[in-house]
């Protein structure tokens, strides 16, 4: 077993060099945490630690595992995101931002390697029954028990999602078309703005 603090450059480097040296079939970037408070009231070091773990570790460990996977034309990377990736809620600003990063990063890298035998999945948990809530400051006892998913069910759904070819896997959603539509709308927005080199009329001095 390799023990490392992925919140530090040294810890990430240790794991990254191990990933590079070994044959890796499946990398699950699961480590992550959230502290729920306004940005102005959160210790800057906590915000920094969230970005280091939730973002930098995902990027650096994915980058370390990919060359070997591409060489063997086989391998899977599952990056654990969150439903908050789609919901920039007050008191969740940094956590939500890091998880939105995970989704976009994973989707883009998947497109980069999809024809080379390597798969990526962004896993989107809702509320999962873990110790996460002790750290985030959420009182899950006030939440109906039926809202909480068991970690084993989430993990099983993620693996089934891989078989189904789901790049963005949302086990709690009944309708996968809801995911596809939401993601398509985001892409449509970018396509629309990138093809117009002039500000819209409402920004013209004459409109003010
Ligand atoms: N629980 C939820 O409702 C929920 C919802 C959406 C997304 N998520 C995401 O799911 C993932 C797993 O969280 P969880 O719910 O299982 O929370 P958890 O019970 O608090 O577990 C967090 C995991 O991350 C590891 N970890 C934390 N800091 C680390 C560090 N600096 N270096 C290395 N490992 C570290 C922990 O290892 P140790 O135990 O060794 O400290 C533990 O295995 C996270 O990415 C989280 O953001 C959770």
Kindly state whether residue 206 falls inside one of the protein's structural domains: no
- Longest pairwise C-alpha distance within the chain: 66
Catalytic choice (47, 75, 95, 119):
95
SS3 42: coil
Query: What is the spatial distance between Cα 104 and Cα 122, in angstroms, rounded to a whole number?
Result: 9
Kindly state whether residue 199 falls inside one of the protein's structural domains: no
CATH code: domain of residue 69: 3.40.50.720
Kindly state whether residue 95 falls inside one of the protein's structural domains: yes
Atom of ligand 1 nearest to the CA of 129: 1
Kindly state whether residue 109 falls inside one of the protein's structural domains: yes
Kindly state whether residue 92 falls inside one of the protein's structural domains: yes
Kindly state whether residue 195 falls inside one of the protein's structural domains: no
Kindly state whether residue 204 falls inside one of the protein's structural domains: no
Residues 6+ apart with CB under 8 A from 49: 7, 33
Domain count within the chain: 1
**Residue 208: pLDDT above 90?**
no
pLDDT tens-digit map of 9-24 = 999 999 999 999 999 9
Residue 202 is predicted with a pLDDT of 96
- Annotation says 203 is catalytic: no
pLDDT tens-digit map of 167-177 = 999 999 999 99
Atom of ligand 1 nearest to the CA of 95: 47
Kindly state whether residue 172 falls inside one of the protein's structural domains: yes
Show the domain range for 101.
25-190
Residue 174 is predicted with a pLDDT of 94
User: Could you tell me the pTM of the whole model?
Assistant: 0.97
Tell me, what DSSP letter sits at residue 150?
P
């Amino acid at each position: 077993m390799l023990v490392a603090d992925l919140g530090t450059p040294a810890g990430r480097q240790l794991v990254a060099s191990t990933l590079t040296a070994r044959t890796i079939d499946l990398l699950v970037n699961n480590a992550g945490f959230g502290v729920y408070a306004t940005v102005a009231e959160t210790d800057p070091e906590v915000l920094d630690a969230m970005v280091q773990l939730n973002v930098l570790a995902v990027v650096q460990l994915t980058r370390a595992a990919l060359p070997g996977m591409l060489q063997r034309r086989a391998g899977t990377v599952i990056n654990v995101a969150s439903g908050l990736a789609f919901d920039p809620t007050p008191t969740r600003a940094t956590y939500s931002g890091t998880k939105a990063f995970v989704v976009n990063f994973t989707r883009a890298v998947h497109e980069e390697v999809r024809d080379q035998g390597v798969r990526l999945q962004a896993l989107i948990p809702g509320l999962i029954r873990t110790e996460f809530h002790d750290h985030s400051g959420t009182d899950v006892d006030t939440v109906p028990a039926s809202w909480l998913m068991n970690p084993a069910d989430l993990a099983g759904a993620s693996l089934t999602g891989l078989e189904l070819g789901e790049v963005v896997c949302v086990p709690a959603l009944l309708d996968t078309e809801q995911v596809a539509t939401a993601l398509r709308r985001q892409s449509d927005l970018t396509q629309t703005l990138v093809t117009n080199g002039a500000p819209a009329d409402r920004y013209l001095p004459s409109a003010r």
